Chains A and B, each alone.
Chain A
Amino acid sequence: MTRNQRTVAGGIPLVFERNDDVPLVHLGVNLRTGSALDPIGLEGMTRLLMRVVRLGTPELRGSQIEERIDSLGAHLSVSVGHSYVHVSATLIAQSLVPFVELLADLLLRPALRERDLVQARRETLAELSSLCDDDRALAARHYRRHALPDHPYGRSTAGNVRSVRALTAQQLRTHHRRLMVSGNLLFSAAGAFEERELAALLTRCFGPLKRGKPPPMRLSAPRMPRGRRILIVDKPERTQTQILIGTLGSHERDAEHVPLVVANTAFGGLFTARLTHEVRSKRGWSYGASSSLGHEQQRDLWSMWTFPAATDAIDCLRLQLELFETWVRDGLEDDELEKARSYLVKSHAFEIDTPSKRVEQLVDTKIFKLPADYYAGFSRAAGKVSRKSARLAVQRRLSTRDLAICLVATAKDVLPALQKLPGIDSVQIVPFDKL
């Protein structure tokens, strides 16, 4: 097993780990910028661009590209986040050379034709429509927008119907030129390959890439509007209510981050955590109940999620708010702290049990601008967290005053009771099928 870093193709970093156990290669071309760069009114631009990239080069049509990928025994996926683009492939090791040649062709020389844009736009709009059938995804999209209405992290990476319709081929070409520069790329590889051969291959195929720095992504620190604000995404005939509640969390660079991770693990990160125990185990109100911290280049959201029956929704929401307030005020019990620390320290083995996971940590460190020893030192730091430091982290980073609350529900069924909840500053309703 070797895990290493080097540069290829005139200065692009490559992080890699060789492992011949299974004749597969996991390959990543990672961009250090994501949809946070998309201008207001043109949300979804980065994602749409990556979709159009896949639809053709000057020599190949989209269907030929897909045939070629499949014939090589490869799977190619693109994930666009606010802070990154991951172009990820898994392939049969013997196909490495022709696959990298094809991938470089796609990324460096896409045709970006008008007709390809029309097709990609049509698929994206259809996906937005399909989202209306998925209550959980619907809740997540509206919740983020509701929590951070003025920040790029609040906007959907997929854009909206209006912005996707507005994007032009010329705008995508300009955006492609900004993104595809050497300083914006980071290669990753794990699996069955020879280091020297892979380095030479990447250098040959990506050598023509334009030199340059990543486009500047100067984001202000996210802020939440004041107060406890409820958004109801109104959908008919709901027997169940999706509930998301949250406030700003922390970033890995923050001094309180690791104590906050430990505190959150005890609160809603385990099956036996306080939130899960109270909502699911004791009352049977929701099949799932959990809380988590977001992960971006800057401070992101802390959120809790449940989905009780519509008849239990208000009681569940009230209970969640009480649990949250108690947690912020009093912190953890000794046994909760011990359990969370023990879990985080011992489960570290599963964060690094495959070569691709180990390489992903290296990519994450660079993309999300984490302290260099964040992953290596995490379990040691988590093991040292005290009750006091966990409580102070929760109190310093999480606000009980400024909360975004989003429900996917049939509005007429929940509105009267919601309006009677104490401490709520506003209730807003939006239809489920307008994205």
Chain B
Amino acid sequence: MPPAELDPTRLCQRLNRGVRRAGARYESGERVRFGNSSRLTLGRYRLGNGLKVLTLVDRSAPVISYHTWYHVGSRNERPGKTGLAHLFEHLMFNETRNLPAGEYDRRIEAAGGETNASTWTDWTHYHADLPASELPLIVELESDRMANLVLREPQLRSEKEVVANERRYRVDDDVEGTVGEKLYALAYKRHPYGWPTIGWMRDIEGFTTADCREFYKTYYAPNNATLVVAGDFDEAQALRLIQKAYGNQRAAKLPRPRRVRETAQRRPRYLAMKRPTPSAKLCVGYRAPAFPDADYAVLSLLNEVLLGGRGSRLFRRLVQRDGLAAEVNSSLAPFVEPGLYDIWLSLRPGRGIEAAAVALDEELARLCAKQVTPKELERVKNRVELGFLSSLETAGGKAEQVGFFEVVCGDAAALFERMQIYRAVTAADLQRVAKLVFDPAQRTRIDVLPAPGAAA
């Protein structure tokens, strides 16, 4: 039987007994219900050094998922040094003052665990899934690399080469990757969202150990991180381990957040390019609300109307009815500040871009002119609900969602309200946001034409 849960305030008091260092004392603790589930609760704690700790005990399988979110991403970089946040995603698996290079991975794998990381505009996310017995190991490893990373030239050289290869794979030799990068660069004139998270190749090649040390010192600190622990573990023991491992780390003096106001877009922007591909491509992006904005949820549903599965409007029209496109998909940027909503059409060989662009514009105009039917609204809400529930099936899935909402919305509990927000959206809301977003003056468009030599 798991031990009965202590009241979080009393738990903090107990954990703080005999702890003198202010940074190692739990300053606050509370629990909230994990959505509609009566079985799970989310614990929220904060150490004196600023480290946020979220706990979610879920004993449905003997595993744990341990996530560390650093509140730093490519938006914190500057021109000439793009890709530094992402490079850290690689460097963090190297040597520390306590462990030789490669030891982090060796220990995780010997314990039967898996680990990975990802970086985007607003955050860097490290996560590990392990058997339940291995919580002390991951707390030791993660706390160590938060404070003790060693940044030397040989590892930096090798990781720069790996990242350059990752860039070739995801961007340079990939049509969709290339277009995505150019779309953001064209849509944003001032804001850091305009440069790629992986960085420009010349910037990747130019990083020095001094750049890396400065970035690490600035952003890798307890007061710039959120931990999430989910799975089969004892909450009090986990908090004690975290307190011991991280409590002696000092808070960093974080730079004031830079607010960059993007210039208003008053005219559509356009770029055409050629690539070795058998068919033309069309990518269209519109300015979208930020993730925490209430209209983001509405646009998510609009996206489902347009491109949510085989029953969506654009799939049925462009792929099935008109036979113009081989593939249609979209992306709605889940950023802290306004990002883009972009639609990608890979045309069938021999089909012209203009016909596809006209059909796309007609469908967007239809959304602005006429409300969706109650049946269609119900369809897309059900799709979103299914996706939402599916993302919460594993300990890792729950931890990721909770951490993401904490980092992007500033409140993990916002996750539990999301489904209700979707449910409350009306057809009038969809029409209003469609008119707001699908403004032709705010469109950025990229055409890709097959280069000579590729079959058309």
Contact = CB atoms under 8 A, between A and B. Distances in A.
Are A and B subunits of one complex?
yes
A92 B168 contact: no
If over half of B's interface residues share one DSSP class (helix, strand or loop), that class is named, otherwise mixed; here it is mixed
A122 B323 contact: yes
B305 to A, nearest CB: 11
A238 B275 CA distance: 11
Interface residues of A, number: 72
Contact of B158 (A237, A284, A308): A284
A129 B326 contact: yes
A16 to B, nearest CB: 17
A90 B387 CA distance: 10
A18 to B, nearest CB: 13
B302 to A, nearest CB: 15
Interface stretch (A19-27, A30-38, A394-402): A19-27
A74 B386 contact: yes
B173 interface: yes
Contacts of A126: 319, 325-327, 348-349
Interface in A255-284: 270-272, 277, 280-284
Contacts of B162: 280, 284, 286-287
Interface in B56-88: 60-63
Given A129-B278, A135-B173, A272-B106, A350 B311 contact: no
A62 B326 contact: no
Given A70-B379, A70-B382, A339-B110, A354 B393 contact: yes
Interface stretch (B111-119, B220-228, B236-244): B111-119
Contact of B308 (A70, A134, A282, A338): A70
Interface stretch (A204-212, A323-331, A341-349, A418-426): A341-349
B380 A70 contact: yes
B63 A350 contact: yes
Q: Report the contact-size class of chain B (Cβ under 8 Å from the partner).
A: 35 or more
A127 B311 contact: no
A354 B394 contact: yes
A133 B347 CA distance: 12
Contact of A92 (B165, B308, B389): B389
A428 interface: no
A307 interface: yes
Given A24-B393, A75-B386, A349-B61, A133 B176 contact: yes
Given A21-B60, A236-B451, A271-B105, A284 B165 contact: yes
Given A127-B327, A284-B165, A287-B162, A24 B112 contact: no
If over half of A's interface residues share one DSSP class (helix, strand or loop), that class is named, otherwise mixed; here it is mixed
A352 to B, nearest CB: 8
Given A130-B346, A272-B109, A354-B393, A433 B165 contact: no
Nearest to A93: B389
Contacts of B115: 271
Given A21-B60, A24-B389, A342 B110 contact: yes
A339 B106 contact: yes
B276 interface: yes
Contacts of A237: 275-276, 451
B169 interface: yes
A69 B346 contact: no
B34 to A, nearest CB: 11
A23 B173 contact: no
A229 B61 CA distance: 47
A260 to B, nearest CB: 19
Given A90-B386, A92-B385, A129-B279, A240 B375 contact: no
Interface string B180-213: 0000000000000000000000000000000000
A282 to B, nearest CB: 7
A62 B109 CA distance: 47
B293 interface: no
B131 interface: yes
B326 A130 contact: yes
Contact of A309 (B164, B275, B378, B395): B164
B348 A129 contact: yes
Contact of A350 (B129, B159, B379): B129
A67 to B, nearest CB: 5
10 contacts: A54-B310, A63-B320, A70-B311, A70-B379, A236-B453, A272-B106, A308-B165, A346-B111, A353-B63, A354-B394
Interface of A: 19, 21-24, 54, 62-63, 66-67, 69-75, 90-92, 119, 122-123, 125-127, 129-130, 132-135, 235-240, 270-272, 277, 280-288, 307-309, 338-339, 342-350, 352-354, 356, 432-434
Interface of B: 37, 39, 60-63, 101-102, 105-106, 109-115, 129, 131-132, 157-166, 168-169, 172-176, 275-279, 308-311, 316, 319-320, 323, 325-327, 346, 348-349, 375, 378-380, 382-383, 385-386, 389-390, 392-395, 451, 453-455
Ordered nearest first, which 10 A-B pairs have the shortest CB separation?
A: A346-B112, A284-B161, A126-B326, A66-B311, A73-B382, A353-B61, A347-B112, A284-B158, A240-B168, A287-B166
